[in-house]
Chains A and B, each alone.
Chain A
Amino acid sequence: MSISEGTLGELRSKGVEVRRIDKEYYEIFIGPQHPGSGHMRFRVKLDGDIIVDADPDIGYVHRTMEKLSEGREWLKITPLVERMTIIDACNITLPYINALEKLMDKRPSTRASYLRVLLCEMNRIASHLYGFGIFGVFIGHSTAYMWGFGDREVFVELSEILTGTRLTYTYHIPGGVRRDMPQDFPQMVRRAVRYMRSRMPEYEKIFLNNPVIVTRLKDVGVITKNRAAELGVVGPTLRGSGIRYDVRLAEPYEVYGEIDFEVPVFEDGDALARTWVRVEEIKQSLNIMEQAIDWLERHRDEPVIPKEDYDKLPKLHKEVYEKSGRVKLLPAQISMKVPPGKAVARGEAGRGEIFYYVESDGGTMPYRLRVVTPSARNAIVFKRILPGHRLMDLPTVYGSIDYFAPEADR
Chain B
Amino acid sequence: MPPRAVTKSVRKTGGLFDGVKSNVEALIIGVKYFIDPKRMTMFYPKEYLEHRPGYRGFIVLKKEVCISCAACARICPSAAMKMVRVSEVDPKEPAKQRQKQYPVINYQRCIFCGYCVDVCPVEALYHLPFHDVTYESLGDMFLTLDLFQKEPLRPVEKEGVPVVYEVDETLGLVKRERKGGG
Contacts and interface: CB of A to CB of B under 8 A. Distances in A.
A331 B38 CA distance: 47
A16 B171 CA distance: 58
A334 interface: yes
B35 interface: no
Contacts of B114: 164-165, 170, 178
B113 interface: yes
Contacts of B160: none
A57 interface: no
B interface bracket (residues with beta carbon within 8 Å of A): 35 or more
Interface in A70-121: 72-73, 75-76, 78-80
A244 B8 contact: no
B3 interface: yes
A210 interface: yes
Nearest to A209: B22
A interface bracket (residues with beta carbon within 8 Å of B): 35 or more
Contacts of A164: 54-56, 114, 127
A324 B129 CA distance: 15
Contact of A153 (B13, B120, B171, B173): B173
Given A157-B167, A244-B5, A329 B118 contact: yes
Given A79-B111, A328-B118, A331-B121, A265 B168 contact: no
Interface stretch (B67-75, B98-106, B140-148): B67-75
A6 interface: no
Contacts of B112: 165, 168
A210 B23 contact: yes
Contact of A330 (B10, B119, B173): B119
Main secondary structure of the interface of A (DSSP, over half): helix
A198 interface: yes
B137 interface: no
B6 interface: yes
Contacts of A178: 114, 118
B119 A329 contact: yes
A342 interface: no
B45 interface: no
A73 B115 CA distance: 13
B3 A211 contact: no
Nearest to B19: A211
Contacts of A367: none
A273 interface: yes
Contacts of A192: 167
Interface in B125-182: 127, 165, 167-173
A257 B3 contact: yes
Given A157-B173, A257-B2, A205 B25 contact: yes
A78 B115 CA distance: 11
A150 B169 contact: no
Contacts of A21: none
Interface in A58-78: 72-73, 75-76, 78
B84 interface: no
Nearest to A72: B77
A256 B19 CA distance: 40
A89 to B, nearest CB: 11
A333 B116 CA distance: 12
A195 B19 contact: no
> 7 smallest A-B Cβ distances: which pairs?
A244-B5, A76-B77, A164-B56, A331-B71, A210-B26, A263-B5, A329-B119
19 contacts: A76-B77, A78-B77, A79-B77, A154-B167, A164-B55, A170-B114, A195-B171, A205-B26, A205-B28, A209-B11, A259-B3, A265-B8, A266-B7, A267-B7, A268-B9, A276-B8, A324-B54, A326-B118, A331-B74
Given A205-B28, A252-B3, A330-B119, 18 more contacts: A73-B75, A79-B78, A79-B113, A164-B55, A164-B127, A168-B113, A178-B118, A191-B169, A192-B167, A206-B30, A211-B22, A244-B7, A257-B2, A257-B3, A260-B1, A262-B4, A264-B6, A324-B54
Interface of B: 1-11, 13, 19, 22-23, 25-26, 28-30, 38, 40, 51-52, 54-56, 69, 71, 74-75, 77-78, 111-115, 118-123, 127, 165, 167-173
